[in-house]
Amino acid sequence: MERRKHLKPLSFKEFAQAKPDQSLQESYQQYLLRGGFPFALQLPDDESFRDYIDGVVNTVLVKDVLARKDKSDSTLVRRLAAFLTETAGSLTSPKKIADTLTSMGEKTTPNTVASYLELLENAFLFYRCDRFDIGGKKYLSINPKYYPVDISLRRALVGQKRPNKGSRLEAIVYQELRRRGYEIYVGVMQQTEVDFVVVKDGRREYYQVSLSLDDEQTYQREVRSLRLIDDNYPKIILTEDPGHFDDQGISQVNIIDWLMGE
């Protein structure tokens, strides 16, 4: 199947550099809401931005997805795209998606969902992230995660009623890791999960993404899987908390500092 040239939203660093009169914190909050599509930088108000993102989504869905499938269902594919956006960062499968959409009144099958997932990937609207068993050192091709090409798609497909900031932050980190040239996987370690296991030039790194570690229970949950890993590769937790500290080989790094780093 012919693959179109994929959309290239701005990284946060590029976004911030385009707004030199704003603080990094102001740019970060805006990036969380508007994402990185370059033209969106020029839009003066929220209504113009919403119309632009709706246009991007509709164009890609029609030209790159619906036009490539016989007897395509525009309502189904839009609800599928909305589901993937809403659940970004959650493990899923064609069967789980089909069951969920059917329960919402959009009857479909796992095979139909699988065919649309492939088209959405080929259109570079969503990216699949497979799992990697860290202890067993093997790749798992079932129950992957999907991440949107840009978090602004949430505005067009889901709206603002359920902002899910944690999911948006995880999607931003995933796309930034892609920009930096890593192979990216969801880590599995003794019934726990590492958000991202990344590989580049034979070197591995482990990432957890959390809005904050101020709560002790949250902190223990995030470090648990990292502490089970017995190699010496970097282990990093990205948060919105200020500062940087290390705890038994695990580094906590502020998300803005990390996004501006490379």
Q: What is the pLDDT of residue 207?
A: 98
Does 208 map to a domain?
yes
Per-residue confidence (pLDDT) for residue 4, from 0 to 100: 47
pLDDT recorded at residue 237? 97
Say what the pLDDT of residue 190 is: 87
Q: What gap in Å lies between CA 68 and CA 87, rounded to an integer?
A: 25
pLDDT at site 58: 86
Asked if residue 83 belongs to a domain, the reply is yes
pLDDT along the chain (262 residues), means of 10: 61 94 94 88 84 88 77 86 92 96 94 93 93 91 93 85 82 96 95 95 95 92 93 96 89 96 78
Give 198's contacts (C-beta < 8 A, 6+ positions apart). Answer: 177, 182, 183, 184, 185, 204, 205, 206, 207
Domain hosting 223: range is 12-259
Does residue 66 sit within a domain?
Answer: yes
Task: Report the domain count for the chain.
Answer: 1
pLDDT score for 3: 45
Which residue pairs, CB below 8 angstroms and at least 24 apart, start in 19-27?
24/256, 24/260, 25/256
3-state secondary structure of 23: coil
Q: What is the pLDDT of residue 175?
A: 96
